[in-house]
Structure 1
Amino acid sequence: MTKDDKIRYLRLNQVFHKALTQSISKLQNWDIVSSCFPDYASTREGSTNLSNCQAQVIEFWTEICRREFEEILRERNVKVKLDELDELILEARERLRTLPRDEKGNHAKSTPIDELSSSKLIECNLYSQRLQTMEQLDQRLHKLNRVNRDLDKELQELESSIDSDRKDLSQLYDRYVGQTVNNPLDETLVQGLNDMLLELREEL
């Protein structure tokens, strides 16, 4: 929704300023003000003072009303609520526009938008939001499934690589260690070692 579509908050401000202008117009009427103080207003000094007082009252009253109005808008979060209402109505109109029509061009079993209650409008919006949320969750689930598949594939490849390395190590062990341990000792070599040990003992 564009800024131009959100008109209710703008209209509310326009109504306020129009009402304020109409209220102040009575204070701006010199005849009305002077009639309240006829004797005082009949003198030159009194007329000048009364005119100045009139201008100050108008300025003060305008500022007080404006501040009070803006404070009410802030406290009640009026702008956000009116903008949301504009969005609800626009979405409802869009859904209504896409509904099938009968032979006369009327929407089949549809209720005019201006006859829908605020609760119905909110329900329509919540339904639309739920659909959007479900779609977003489906997308996230699809993404998670894809990530899980990729991780599973990587784990399988890693497991295969580890198994291959284990087999290579096992073959190396059998080739350079296992066979030497399992083969019988050379008797000549053993006898030679024993003779060397005996000679060392005799020298000691």
Structure 2
Amino acid sequence: MAREEKIRYLRLKQVFDKALNQSISTLKNWEKVSACFPEYASNRENAANLSNCQSQVIEFWTEICKREFEDILKERNVKEKLDELDELISEARERLRNLPRDDHGNGGVPSIDELSSAQLIDCNLYTQRINAAKELDKRLDKLNKINQHLEDKLEQLDCSIESEKKELSCLYDRFIGKSVDTMPDETLAQGLNDMLQELSESQSS
């Protein structure tokens, strides 16, 4: 977009200048100012002093307002945002001009005031369905992550149980399943049998 086409920031400045001039118009009116101090202004020297004060107040008030206005513009990045808005509007107008036209020269996309109540409702419902679908996708993704986490934990637990079962089987073969010179400890044997049975039941469940 050409520089001269970015007019919104310029218009904002013009509106501010107009509002400022209106706000100080009373201060610029000597008749109203002198009417506030009729006795003092009746003397020529005093009137000159009052006129000088009037000029200083106007200058001070104008400077303060302009400074605060400029600070607000910089703080909120107004110029860049308005220039960007000008560019977006210009781009939208250009796209609208490039839309295919019918035999009557009308654009292919109707304006919003040409839509019926039913069409407006359909547009609103479509937007709501799109938003609802996005929200459901987010929830589904969250559930999938939770399920995957649980599945990983179960696999780790299963591997841990299988490892412990193998260790207990080795102990069983070592101390009970094979013939040894001494009789096995019945308490140890029973404990190992109970642990193996418990592991088998937990794994099968």
TM-score (normalizing by structure 1) = 0.53
Q: After TM superposition, list the pairs within 5 Å mapping 1:83-94 onto structure 2.
A: 83-94=83-94
Deviation at 1:93? Answer: 0.4
1:76 & 1:104 partners in 2: Cα distance?
A: 45
Instruction: Please tell me the residue identity of whatever aligns with 2:24.
Output: I
2:106 & 2:30 partners in 1: Cα distance?
A: 58
Q: Deviations over 1:51-110 (max 9, x none)?
A: 010000000001001001100100110000000000000000010000011122111224
Q: After TM superposition, list the pairs within 5 Å mapping 1:161-200 onto structure 2.
A: none
For structure 1, the residue ranges without an aligned partner over 5 or more in a row are 113-204
Question: How many percent of aligned residue pairs carry the same amino acid?
Answer: 71
User: Does 2:76 match 1:76?
Assistant: yes
2:77 & 2:105 partners in 1: Cα distance?
A: 40
2:109 & 2:89 partners in 1: Cα distance?
A: 19
Deviation at 1:22? Answer: 1.9
User: SS in structure 1 opposite 2:103?
Assistant: coil
| Aligned-pair Cα RMSD in Å | 1.2
Residue 140 of structure 2 corresponds to none
Q: After TM superposition, list the pairs within 5 Å mapping 1:65-144 onto structure 2.
A: 65-111=65-111
Task: Report which of the two structures shows the higher radius of gyration computed on alpha carbons.
Answer: 1
Residue 15 of structure 1 corresponds to 15
Instruction: Please tell me the residue identity of whatever aligns with 2:46.
Output: G
| Count of residue pairs brought into register by the alignment | 112
Residue 117 of structure 2 corresponds to none
Q: Deviations over 1:112-160 (max 9, x none)?
A: 7xxxxxxxxxxxxxxxxxxxxxxxxxxxxxxxxxxxxxxxxxxxxxxxx
For structure 2, the residue ranges without an aligned partner over 5 or more in a row are 113-205
User: SS in structure 2 opposite 1:73?
Assistant: helix
Q: After TM superposition, list the pairs within 5 Å mapping 1:7-86 onto structure 2.
A: 7-86=7-86
Deviates more, 1:102-111 or 1:38-47: 102-111
User: SS in structure 1 opposite 2:102?
Assistant: coil
2:47 & 2:33 partners in 1: Cα distance?
A: 10
Instruction: Please tell me the residue identity of whatever aligns with 1:26.
Output: T
User: SS in structure 2 opposite 1:106?
Assistant: coil
1:96 & 1:107 partners in 2: Cα distance?
A: 8
1:110 & 1:100 partners in 2: Cα distance?
A: 12
1:4 & 1:87 partners in 2: Cα distance?
A: 12
User: SS in structure 1 opposite 2:24?
Assistant: helix
1:110 & 1:63 partners in 2: Cα distance?
A: 49
Instruction: Please tell me the residue identity of whatever aligns with 1:53.
Output: C
Deviation at 1:45? Answer: 2.2
